Amino acid sequence: MTAKLAPALLSTLGGRYYTSAEVFAAEQEHIFEAMWFCAARSADLADPGRFKKVQVGRESVLLVRGRDGVLRAFLNVCRHRGAQLCVEGEGEVKRTLRCPYHSWTYALDGRLVAAPNIGTLTDDEGAPIDRYRYGLVPVALTEWLGYAWVCLADTPPPFEDVMAETARTLGDPEAVDRYGIGALDVGHRVVYDVAANWKLIVENFMECYHCSTIHPELVGVLPEFARGVAAQANIGLGAQFGSGVAGFTVDGGAGFDRLPGISEEQDRRYYAITVKPTVFLNLVPDHVIFHRMYPVAPDRTVVECDWLYTGDVVGSARDVSNSVELFHRVNLQDFEACERTQPAMSSRAYRDGGVLVPAEHHLAEFHSWVVSRLAAAL
């Protein structure tokens, strides 16, 4: 064999990618505000007039369901003197959003519909003031998998690319669709405040070399994870439940009926997909675990995690704690590892990064992707 061996150890990103305010600012502009960003579960905004405030990159975004049933997003800023329309996390209005400072009032589609004295105002050509021009600044919004994805770019990239990339990861364009995620209900939600850079959380999610060390319960259900090979490195294969395992639960006991649409080969398997930049999908036969990250600072990320079940399970108030507990423990174990890693990112020992073993080599693609997104800015 004359061919040179592939290197066993690849380099990671250098430490400053995880600590620098400049890098984080570039990520906000060129990643979180430039890509489609998963902002909220659509069902949390089911009724007309229901609204929710979400931080997307550096912007406060207001999501609101119109009387016409359409979910829309706007910058959460009154066009007059800049007061935030929505200060509370969420709530409900009747027909309009009214700024509590000077009473400029907007329809749920963003149009300026009223303001004290505004009726007699004209622009400098003598024409009435354009109510769309002074309406709320719209933000692009698409619904997929039951979530609202927004994009702050002037020209948002095609959303189809997000879906195509996900399908490619699973190796089957219909694999995700079969879980019918959009129709599921939130059975449980936990919000984690993690003292680590968002990329450490992505990297942790993408590899399973750490599984045997920190995830005893998960390895109990998915014995092949003890081998340390990441599910995401094996396109479309997922990981098989252990022979004595009845369900994806903390003790391996039975879960719920399998989701109606999934295929035979999806049964008794766990699939993990990263939807860049900030979403993790975990697919198991009877439920879906959906992570959304909100990067707050170079060393802080809020992670909101939904456990999704059929309406039958949630509606009948069945006890989901056994399945919730499994991934809640995984989350805590992962986030502790990330928090333990964050401080070392500023050490001279990590100035040029650490190393990736072969079971982690696919992380290098993520690193390249980050570097290329930020190329213009750094």
358 contributes a contact to a second copy by CB under 8 A = yes
Distance CA 30, CA 362 (A): 22
Residue 94 or residue 133: which is nearer to a second copy going by CB? 133
**Among residues 47, 68, 124, 264, which is the contact residue for a second copy, using CB under 8 A?**
124
User: 3-state SS of the chain: helix, strand, coil percent to 5?
Assistant: 30, 25, 40
3-state secondary structure of 327: helix
Shortest distance (Å) from residue 125 CB to a second copy: 8
3-state secondary structure of 159: helix
Shortest distance (Å) from residue 149 CB to a second copy: 19
Do 26 and 356 touch, CB atoms closer than 8 A?
A: no
- Which of 38-46, 123-131, 250-258, 282-290 is the region at the interface with a second copy (rule: CB under 8 A)? 123-131
**Among residues 125, 160, 264, 319, which is the contact residue for a second copy, using CB under 8 A?**
125
In the 8-state DSSP scheme, what is residue 201? H
4 contributes a contact to a second copy by CB under 8 A = yes
Distance CA 21, CA 247 (A): 43
Binding mask of the shown chain, residues 225 to 254, with x at each position contacting a second copy by CB under 8 A: ---x--------------------------
Distance of CA 19 to the CA centre of its chain: 21
Binding mask of the shown chain, residues 283 to 322, with x at each position contacting a second copy by CB under 8 A: ----------------------------------------
Distance CA 295, CA 135 (A): 29
89 contributes a contact to a second copy by CB under 8 A = no
Distance CA 87, CA 77 (A): 10
Helix crossing, 321-341 with 198-206: angle to 10°?
120
User: How many residues appear in the chain?
Assistant: 378
**First and final CA of the chain: distance in angstroms?**
42
Q: Which of residues 49-68 bind a second copy (CB under 8 A)?
A: 58-60
138 contributes a contact to a second copy by CB under 8 A = no
Residues of this chain that interact with a second copy (CB under 8 A) are 4-9, 12, 15, 58-60, 75-84, 87, 100-103, 115-118, 121-126, 129, 134, 137, 152, 203, 209-210, 212-214, 228, 337, 340-341, 343-350, 353-360
